[in-house]
């Protein structure tokens, strides 16, 4: 592409003077704050990249890539531009597109990025147009590494509670198999020794090794996921911890318990709480991005675990209808609209999409239960950020180019109708799809984004 997405139209924008901006705020500005909740590799960055690309090509070149979207009518869209979100690095859309161009998927996200997307609409009403020629629809998005999101529930826990639940999880469920080495390590470790910095580092690094292994094996409940990434503000010396055996945690005066409790508190106070305020700040709309296929790739147990993880995550958000007062004066927002989005829908053949949607609906049951009796408008969607596959010969097959450059047809046996029906000894291996050469039209032809936007803007 000859022109950088982030630069487009930015130049067109004359700085609006303060008074007009204030007026605009009263009259013609709709700000939609989205929070996207998605585990690591669920497709957040691709979704944003695709969204920006589609809106750009739609606005500037009139490509009808979002046919079902009528809430941002092309005839009214005057222009659109992007801005960084204050306090965040700009979302690297150009880099992502360059990666796709060179045949690679975008890199995993390692820190928080934000952006604002402003769509300027010509005002239709005559009186309004006289006052303000344009109204603006502002989208605010924040992208972050998915590893962070699973840590949010820790804010509500004490160290002891967390340690106990971590053991419970590791000894059951699919993790059990990958945690053997780590559990043996803890069993053999001598906690009578003083918790020196070096010994703490040893335990923490062993624990991180377990987390990394579990992540490779498709485990979604990784706590703390933040330990999987390097970050300057997260010092493992002062904030590192791991679960401790119950013999240690049951003795309040135990030096190791004291040390890890202190580190745990520091982790919450100096890392997690600021992270929540900044990255997972209040929003009125939430996209919960779920890669159902990732669960099918592993096992039924993984799917159940994914469901549990989602419901834990839902606990950390505040749902309900926020009124004008709380929104404007208290600047407090509750999430009133939730889109449960099954990502990478293109990797599933047409015949299985209904089943996929139904599995998605079951996976979100626990999370939806957290809405309680609050008025939350929610819907389930299947979305692809890019149509990387083609239809196969039969309805149950897709074709794609794999990492070796071969064009392959994959035929699927029917998906289970319910999680329960998934046979415990079978799986649907994830297709090793390569970035197609014609990635741009395939992004513009991707499915479901129009429906999703239509819902979110409503």
Partner 1 sequence: MTESAYRSKVSQKTLEESQPEHAMPSRMAEENWQERPISGGLSWGKVALITGIASLLALLVYNAVSGLLADFERYPITSSVLGTLLGIFVLSVSIVILRELIAYRRVNRFIDSRQPLGALRELPTVADVDRALDSQASQFGRHSFAEHCYRHYQTLKRDDQSAKERVDLYQHHVQQPVQARASSVLKRESMTAGSLAFISPNALIQTLAVMWISLRTIRRMAQVYGLRPGTAGNWRLVNVLVQNIAAQSLFDLATDEVVNQISGTLSAKLMENSAEAVAAGALNVRLGKALIKLLR
Choice between 80 and 444, CB closer to partner 1: 444
CB 242 within 8 A of CB 203: yes
CB of 284 vs Mg ion, minimal distance in Å = 23
Choice between 92 and 218, CB closer to partner 1: 218
At 435 the three-state DSSP class reads: coil
CB of 329 vs ligand GTP, minimal distance in Å = 35
At 286 the three-state DSSP class reads: strand
Closest CA to 45 of 113, 139, 120: 113
Choice between 280 and 400, CB closer to partner 1: 400
Q: Residues in the site for partner 1, rule: CB under 8 A? A: 61-65, 67-68, 70, 74, 177, 217, 297-299, 345, 350, 353, 382, 387, 390-391, 399-401, 406-413, 425-429, 431, 436-438, 440-442, 444-445, 447-448, 451
Choice between 314 and 360, CB closer to partner 1: 360
Rounded to 5°, angle at Cα 243 from 252 and 217: 170
Residues whose CB falls within 8 Å of the CB of residue 177, separated by 6 or more in sequence, listed in order: 217
CB of 358 vs Mg ion, minimal distance in Å = 27
CB 215 within 8 A of CB 40: yes
Q: Rounded to whole angstroms, how far apart are CA atoms 69 and 455?
A: 9
Q: Rounded to whole angstroms, how far apart are CA atoms 218 and 392?
A: 28
CB of 45 vs Mg ion, minimal distance in Å = 3
Q: Rounded to whole angstroms, how far apart are CA atoms 325 and 313?
A: 27
Q: Rounded to whole angstroms, how far apart are CA atoms 457 and 71?
A: 7
Residues whose CB falls within 8 Å of the CB of residue 55, separated by 6 or more in sequence, listed in order: 66, 80, 117, 119
- Runs of H (alpha helix) within 316-346: 324-328
Choice between 231 and 361, CB closer to partner 1: 361
Q: Residues in the site for ligand GTP, rule: CB under 6 A? A: 38, 40-46, 105-106, 108-109, 145-146, 343-344, 346-347, 384-386, 388, 433
CB 12 within 8 A of CB 81: yes
Torsion angles phi and psi, residue 319, rounded to 5? -105, 160
CB of 412 vs partner 1, minimal distance in Å = 5
* DSSP 8-state class, residue 26: H
Residue 59, contacted partner among ligand GTP, Mg ion, partner 1, none, CB below 5-8 A by kind: none
CB of 63 vs partner 1, minimal distance in Å = 5
Beta-carbon count within 10 A of 60 CB: 14
Choice between 230 and 423, CB closer to partner 1: 423
Residue 61, contacted partner among partner 1, ligand GTP, Mg ion, none, CB below 5-8 A by kind: partner 1
Residue 357, contacted partner among Mg ion, partner 1, ligand GTP, none, CB below 5-8 A by kind: none
End-to-end CA distance of the chain: 33
Choice between 254 and 442, CB closer to ligand GTP: 442
Choice between 277 and 438, CB closer to partner 1: 438
Select from 6, 35, 37, 45 the one that contacts Mg ion (CB under 5 A): 45
Residue 46, contacted partner among partner 1, Mg ion, ligand GTP, none, CB below 5-8 A by kind: ligand GTP
Interface segment toward Mg ion; rule CB under 5 A; list 42-50, 52-60, 237-245, 266-274 = 42-50
Q: How long a stretch of residues is the chain?
A: 458
Q: Which residues bind Mg ion (CB under 5 A)?
A: 44-45, 109
């Amino acid at each position: 592409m000859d022109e950088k997405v982030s630069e487009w139209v930015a130049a067109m924008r004359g700085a609006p003077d303060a008074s007009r901006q204030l007026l605009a705020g009263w009259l013609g500005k709709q700000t939609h704050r989205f929070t996207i909740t998605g585990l690591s590799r669920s497709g957040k960055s691709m979704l944003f990249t695709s969204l920006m690309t589609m809106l750009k090509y739609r606005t500037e070149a009139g490509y009808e890539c979002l046919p079902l979207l009528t809430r941002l009518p092309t005839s009214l869209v005057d222009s659109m531009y992007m801005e960084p979100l204050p306090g965040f690095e700009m979302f690297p859309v150009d880099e992502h597109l360059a990666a796709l161009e060179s045949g690679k998927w975008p890199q995993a996200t390692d820190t928080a990025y934000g952006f604002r997307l402003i769509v300027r609409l010509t005002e239709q009403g005559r009186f309004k147009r006289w006052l303000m020629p344009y109204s603006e629809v502002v989208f605010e998005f924040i992208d972050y590494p998915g590893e962070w999101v699973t840590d949010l529930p820790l804010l509500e826990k004490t160290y002891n509670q967390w340690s106990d639940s971590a053991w419970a999880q590791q000894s059951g469920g699919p993790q059990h198999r990958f945690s053997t080495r780590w559990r043996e390590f803890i069993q053999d470790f001598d906690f009578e020794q003083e918790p020196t910095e070096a010994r703490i580092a040893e335990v923490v690094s062993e624990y991180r090794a377990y987390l990394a292994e579990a992540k490779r094996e498709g485990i979604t409940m990784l706590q703390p996921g933040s330990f999987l990434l390097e970050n300057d503000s997260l010092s493992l010396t002062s904030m590192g911890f791991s679960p401790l055996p119950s013999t240690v945690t049951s003795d309040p005066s135990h030096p190791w318990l004291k040390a890890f409790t202190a580190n745990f508190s520091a982790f919450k106070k100096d890392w997690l709480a600021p992270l929540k305020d900044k990255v997972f700040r209040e929003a009125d709309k939430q996209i919960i991005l779920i890669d159902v296929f990732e669960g099918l790739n592993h096992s039924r147990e993984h799917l159940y675990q994914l469901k549990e993880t989602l419901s834990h995550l839902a606990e950390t958000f505040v749902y309900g209808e926020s009124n004008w007062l709380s929104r404007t004066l208290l600047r407090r927002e509750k999430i009133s609209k939730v889109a449960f989005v099954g990502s990478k829908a293109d990797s599933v053949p047409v015949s299985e999409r209904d089943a996929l949607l139904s599995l998605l609906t079951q996976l979100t049951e626990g999370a939806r239960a957290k809405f309680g009796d609050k008025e939350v408008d929610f819907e389930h969607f299947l979305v692809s950020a890019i149509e990387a596959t083609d239809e196969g010969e039969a309805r149950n097959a897709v074709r794609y180019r794999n990492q070796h450059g071969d064009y392959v047809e994959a035929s699927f046996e029917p998906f289970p109708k319910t999680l329960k029906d998934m046979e415990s000894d079978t799986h649907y291996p994830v297709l090793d799809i390569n970035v197609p050469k014609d990635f741009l039209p395939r992004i513009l032809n991707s499915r479901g984004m129009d429906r999703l936007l239509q819902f979110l803007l409503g």
